[in-house]
Amino acid sequence: MRTVSLMIANQQFSRLIREVEAGEDVVITRRGRPIARLMPHRADKAADPEWVAAYERMTELLEEGASLGGLRVRRDDLYDR
């Protein structure tokens, strides 16, 4: 992940966009503090590691079952009516 100042980002915006298109994340700072992040657009959720981790955790919870005020609910229970 690259960090650049706002002044540099303004001067080299086209170059930064090309880097982002190539997959690089760029953090823009003002007076040393992060104010924005440029990152590639990921239309496919499966390409987002955070989404994949959340999905896997959700699936695990559904397999283990969740407690809803003493009522234990599992994924299979939701579909067996």
**Closest C-alpha to 40, from 17, 7, 11, 10:** 17
pLDDT in tens, 40-76: 887 777 777 888 899 898 888 777 766 667 776 666 7
Domains and CATH numbers, the chain: 2-38 (3.40.1620.10), 45-79 (no CATH)
Give percent of the chain with pLDDT exceeding 90.
47
- pLDDT exceeds 60 at position 81: no
